[in-house]
Structure 1
Amino acid sequence: MNSNWFKLLMKMTKVSYGKNLTLKGMPVIFNKSGAQLTFGDNVTINSSFLSNLVGLYQRTIIITRTPESQILIGNNVGISGATIYARKSITIGENTLVGGNAKILDNDFHPLEIEARNADIKEKIGAKPISIGKNCFIGCNALILKGTVLGDGCIVGAGAVVSGVFEDNCVIAGNPARVIKRF
């Protein structure tokens, strides 16, 4: 399937995108009926092994899971083999780069309580919005967890596990991630 057919499919599922959306390979993009999934201008989505030489393990996956969920991706954003999965809300500011195989997940995927998990009660799945500022860089294999807020200009180190609120212009690394440098 070429990218023009894929873009037509995106329009049919009410995915909104601006000018110059570039698809390298075929991402998995699913927009739940009633949800909002928006890409700004000049967004690049790398989903093939050779589109990013860091070594992508998978195609890019972008999913709104509930009718109330939204994913808003700003202008000039690059995404490589990442998973972006929202039950509530994920916002990615303009000029941000999401490195190879990163995961941005605003929910726990399963209830934490044993009874709710065994009964597969979807309403008990914990979820909190994620906000990633402008001009950020998310390193390869980073994991951004529910409730995270990254200020403008933040850099997330490769493999970091990020949860919490971080001020503008800082470098965040480790597991659990912490500020290791400020600009």
Structure 2
Amino acid sequence: MNKVIYGKNLSLIGLPVIFKQKNARLNIGSNCTIKSDFLSNLVGLFQRTIIVARAEGIIEIGDNVGISGATIYSRNRIEIGSYTNIGGNVKILDNDFHPIDPEKRRENDVDSIDSRPIKIGTNVFIGCNSIILKGSEIGDNCVIGAGSVVSGKFPDNTVVAGNPARVVKTLSLKI
């Protein structure tokens, strides 16, 4: 697992791509399930799960997290809280992959790729085919509607949906 740190009872269904570069850090908590088999999630997976920490990127995945056919790609920092479920084909990307400036893109200047950390709270559900973009902060107990494009900060206990995503409902929790 290329010096990836993972806790007890990691369940891999199918063959994910999990990779970190030398100066990166990738930690997966205990009791996590990573699904990469096309029939492991009936929402229909388009790909295997891909989890990559490049350059000096950091990925911290809490305990009891479920991931299905998602891409989690960091050059900066991605934190995913415990008890979070990441639906089929979700993309979590803390960077732009390529420079925005046309000259720098032509030169393939990887040092000018913009990146900002992502923080996903505890007990979050991210619906299938959603995209979580750089700089996003999602509070605890949030639900991200299927197909949403998330960019920005969202408070605890909210339902977030749309393109661009916005708060569509506040959840009243009875504890």
TM-score range, shorter chain: over 0.9
Of 49, 54, 62, the residue aligned with 2:51 is 62
Q: Report the count of equivalent residues.
A: 171
Map Cα deviations across residues 57-114 of structure 1 (whole Å, 9 max, x no partner).
0000000011x21000000000000000000000000000000000000000000001
TM-score (norm 2): 0.97
RMSD of equivalent CA atoms: 0.4
Residues in 2 aligned to 1:134 and 1:151: alpha-carbon distance in whole angstroms: 7
Of 126, 139, 144, the residue aligned with 1:151 is 139
Residues in 1 aligned to 2:50 and 2:85: alpha-carbon distance in whole angstroms: 15
User: Matched residue of 2:12: which SS?
Assistant: strand
Matches within 5 A, 1:69-80: 69-80=57-68
User: Matched residue of 1:54: which SS?
Assistant: coil
Residue 171 (1) aligns with residue 159 (2)? yes
The answer for the alignment partner of 1:104 in structure 2 is 92
Residue 88 (1) aligns with residue 89 (2)? no
Residues in 1 aligned to 2:73 and 2:169: alpha-carbon distance in whole angstroms: 29
User: Matched residue of 2:103: which SS?
Assistant: helix
The answer for the alignment partner of 2:30 in structure 1 is 41
Which one-letter code corresponds to 2:76 in the other structure? K
Q: State the identity as a percent.
A: 61
Residue 17 (1) aligns with residue 17 (2)? no
Residues in 1 aligned to 2:148 and 2:9: alpha-carbon distance in whole angstroms: 31
